[in-house]
A and B are shown apart, each in its own frame.
Chain A
Amino acid sequence: MESTPRKILICEDHQIVVDGLVSIFKNQPDYQVIGYIKNGGEVLTFLKRQLPDVILLDINLPEVNGLEILKSIRQLEYDIKVIVLTMYNKENIIRKVKQFNGNGFLLKNSSTEDVLKALDTVFDSKSFYMGKGVKNLVDETDGFVQKVNITNREKEIIKELVKGYNVPQIAERLYISNYTVETHKKNIFRKLNIHNSIDLVTLVNEKNLLS
């Protein structure tokens, strides 16, 4: 065991959560709570005066949210472990935390055990992410597909475009407005990263898009 306890800063706007956390660390000689901040705007000011070893950071904070704070801490290159502690149990939030190099992710309804485990893990230079669905984040499909695909409507439009019809003609043939056709066309070009109908014809022939 190290002789000096790890310094903890709690950024949390709910007193009850702060109290709970403080009570966890009261009996832990390895950890010492050096302060808590309720307002997101005050975190960076605090860090200028005193650097903790770890921050337990809530996301929903007044003025500046936790993700912004995390981003700033990493930009300023403070050597601090950051564990996000939140009510959000959502993959995209977890993804963001990872993206901004957070060291850990905990839900507020985690047990004392999990909190301590998280701290131990991050000081062991590992990440600790805990939340529903976190493990199979990448594998999950459930009929959800993310790849460049062409919808039926777009296929219809592409067919017409390849046949050489212009926007008003297509609008008339498909009983939709010029505006709709124009938007489809723009979207298709954007999606296929092309800029004109000639590219489209080439692409359709090469990749057999309409099959």
Chain B
Amino acid sequence: MKKTYCHSLLFLFVFGVTLCSNAQIDTLVINHSFTQVNINTFAKKVQSSEGFINEEDIINSVGFENDPYLFIPIEDDIATVFFRVKNATNEKKELILELNNSLLNHIDFYQFEGSQYTLINQTGTNFAFNSRPINDRNFVFPINLSSQETKAYALQFKKDKISVVVPSTLWSKKNYDSHTKRSYLIIGIYFGISVISILFSLYIFSLVKLRVYLVYALYIIFLGLYLYSFLGLFFQYFIAENEAYNKYIHVFFVVCTTIFFVLFSQNILNAKVYAPKIKKALDVILIIVILTRFSDFVLPHEMFLNIKPFVMRLWYFSFFAIIGLLLVLIYKSYPKQKKITLFYLFAFSFIGTATIFTIINVNNGALFSYVYGIPLILYASLFEIIFLTFTLVLTVKNIYDERNALSVQLVEQQKGLFNAFILGEERERERISKELHDHIGSRLGYLKRFVIDTVKNDDVAASIDEICNDLRDISHDLSPSDLTLVGFESSVEELCQKIASETTLTVNFNSHKFPEALNHSTSTNLYRVVQEAFNNIMKHSEATQVDVQLFGHDDHISISIEDNGKGFEFSVEKGLGFKNMSSRIGQIHGELNVDSKPNKGTFILINIPV
């Protein structure tokens, strides 16, 4: 058969087999150069439902299939594999028979001597771990041949309504050891990368609190656990003595893995938004998967056995459905988020292909799915994890960029609010000031004249004058409305004069070619800043002298306020006063520069473009 031949070639290529291309039913001859051989190439497989049959029956019976792998279809509850080996050397030969499937339920290993046969070993997942002749994740049997000795063996598999593939290899002891080392190295690399990815995604999750990272971590965890059980490592290293646990736990893990993989895919491809129908279909399939696979644990064993072939087919069909739906989802998501979908597609193509290979392999033994004695699915998930982790890095970058943009926006908004607050305050002050100054003031003026002319009481008139003066002061403090009347320069000059006369400060005012007309908001804001600066000086600086200077340049104006006070470490005293100042200067697109050192005075420099 051409197909089988092809697979044989592939098998030969991958394993680098050196021997037994002309295998027949008869004896396998072991010479000095023997390293390894696939026992299917020389063994004979007999299927029967009645259990063991003797050597003659085996030899005479039909049914040998020259598969590259030992495949036992779902219908055969019992299968027997017979083989004979001869040591052609003059030395003792230690051989190892490895069955590369850690989930076999029941294996009887017989030795033949003529028509006599003895049961050497009885093992499988139905038995305790210590029933195994050699401590290994797979089922491994030692075969020792003295010089020129020939021995015949039979392996009998018993199983419950399931098809299994048993890649079986006969190794020389030395080659088996190096093969084992290599496969553990590959497994170790896989789990190392897996753990790094889990920690990475959990770390990201702790930072950004997005569900997708948690789901991804859970997916990788369960995928790891599934592969750990699928490779038989649970038997070897974790509660080895509990058969029931070891027999079924991989079912639980594979269901969880499937669930989290689908959830993760929905999440990263944003199925909820881009393809809500596909998301629903996937949800339905997930429920089917859960119900079918867990029926094993819920239903009585006999009843489950009856529906098991159907359940298994439904289970495999679900996988194909999931793969198909995810492809559609990828197609829908691609135009919306190209980079992420592309990375996901790479990852997906690895695990998807490996899953298809594995399912076909388990169901009819057709495709080969092992490399270096390790299932293809492990390599695929290794690449998958690498690509998916890259995908997550990309999404993190997206989120980071988005948040950055958001915080910039937020800062802008806050600045805007603060500006609006200052502007609103200024308007309200202006309004109150005008009200006081004009309306109340005018009435007081009238009242005073009335008091003098009619009541003729100078004391009352004098006190009205005082009230008027107070009113003017309050009004001016609230809003220097004369700013627009007399200009900024003159107002600042008067402010300096006023402070000089009211306090012990010596104030030097200087103006050099300062423009007469400034617009309203510029002059108001600048005036407030100068006031604020004086407030700070009087409150905190202990200065005795202040120099206020106004400069007009060609394209900007410059204001400097310098005191000889105690100064400060700028960062320490950056209170509301300075915030207010810089906000006001910001409003009129100027620059505020505050320069102060302890005991060196404070220097405020303002530049405004005109």
Contacts of B501 in A (CB 8 A): 140, 142-144
Contacts of B551 in A (CB 8 A): 186-187, 190-191
> Known: A20-B446, A92-B482, A190-B553. Contact between A144 and B558, CB under 8 A?
no
Contacts of A87 in B (CB 8 A): 437-438, 441-442, 445, 468, 471-472
A195 located at the interface, meaning its Cβ lies under 8 Å from any Cβ of chain B in the complex = no
B592-610, CB under 8 A of A: which get 1 and which 0? Answer: 0101010001010101000
- Asked if A153 and B562 sit within 8 Å, CB to CB, the answer is yes
- Asked if B510 and A146 sit within 8 Å, CB to CB, the answer is yes
Contacts of A153 in B (CB 8 A): 560, 562, 601, 603
B154 located at the interface, meaning its Cβ lies under 8 Å from any Cβ of chain A in the complex = no
Interface size class of B (residues with CB under 8 A): 35 or more
Q: Which residues 41-75 of A have a CB within 8 angstroms of B?
A: 59-60, 65, 67
Interface size class of A (residues with CB under 8 A): 35 or more
| Complex CA distance for A44 and B334, rounded to whole angstroms | 74
B539 located at the interface, meaning its Cβ lies under 8 Å from any Cβ of chain A in the complex = no
Select one of A92, A132, A142, A176 contacting B595, CB under 8 A. Answer: A176
Tell me the smallest distance from the CB of A189 to a CB of chain B, in Å.
Answer: 9
Contacts of A65 in B (CB 8 A): 484-485
Contacts of B496 in A (CB 8 A): 144
Select one of B442, B453, B508, B603 contacting A17, CB under 8 A. Answer: B442
> Known: A90-B494, A183-B558. Contact between A14 and B442, CB under 8 A?
yes
B418 located at the interface, meaning its Cβ lies under 8 Å from any Cβ of chain A in the complex = no
- Asked if B486 and A96 sit within 8 Å, CB to CB, the answer is yes
Contacts of B484 in A (CB 8 A): 65
- Asked if B449 and A14 sit within 8 Å, CB to CB, the answer is no
- Asked if B547 and A149 sit within 8 Å, CB to CB, the answer is yes
| Complex CA distance for A95 and B485, rounded to whole angstroms | 11
- Asked if B446 and A183 sit within 8 Å, CB to CB, the answer is no
B457 located at the interface, meaning its Cβ lies under 8 Å from any Cβ of chain A in the complex = no
- Asked if B512 and A111 sit within 8 Å, CB to CB, the answer is no
Tell me the smallest distance from the CB of A92 to a CB of chain B, in Å.
Answer: 4
- Asked if A183 and B605 sit within 8 Å, CB to CB, the answer is yes
Tell me the smallest distance from the CB of A190 to a CB of chain B, in Å.
Answer: 5
Question: Which residue, of A16, A109, A186, A187, has the highest number of chain B Cβ atoms within 10 A?
Answer: A109
Select one of A17, A93, A113, A177 contacting B446, CB under 8 A. Answer: A17
Contacts of A148 in B (CB 8 A): 510
| Complex CA distance for A67 and B472, rounded to whole angstroms | 19
Contacts of A143 in B (CB 8 A): 500-501, 504-507
A89's nearest neighbour on chain B, judged by CB, is: B472
Select one of B449, B453, B485, B562 contacting A96, CB under 8 A. Answer: B485
Tell me the smallest distance from the CB of A65 to a CB of chain B, in Å.
Answer: 6
Question: Which residue, of A12, A17, A187, has the highest number of chain B Cβ atoms within 10 A?
Answer: A187
Select one of B471, B482, B560 contacting A90, CB under 8 A. Answer: B482
Select one of A59, A140, A142, A183 contacting B593, CB under 8 A. Answer: A183
Tell me the smallest distance from the CB of A183 to a CB of chain B, in Å.
Answer: 6
Contacts of A177 in B (CB 8 A): 593, 595
Question: Which residue, of B439, B471, B485, B507, has the highest number of chain A Cβ atoms within 10 A?
Answer: B485
A125-152, CB under 8 A of B: which get 1 and which 0? Answer: 0000000100000001011111111011
Contacts of B593 in A (CB 8 A): 177, 179-180, 183
Q: What are the nearest 7 A-B pairs in CB distance?
A: A108-B445, A142-B501, A14-B442, A87-B441, A144-B500, A151-B547, A109-B445
**Pairs across A and B, CB under 8 Å, 19 listed:** A24-B449, A60-B437, A87-B472, A92-B494, A109-B448, A109-B468, A111-B448, A113-B452, A142-B501, A143-B506, A144-B497, A146-B493, A151-B547, A152-B564, A176-B595, A177-B593, A190-B551, A190-B553, A191-B551
Q: A96-B485, A180-B603, A183-B593 are in contact. List 13 more A-B contacts (CB 8 A).
A: A67-B485, A92-B491, A92-B493, A108-B468, A111-B452, A140-B497, A144-B501, A148-B510, A149-B547, A153-B562, A176-B595, A184-B560, A187-B512
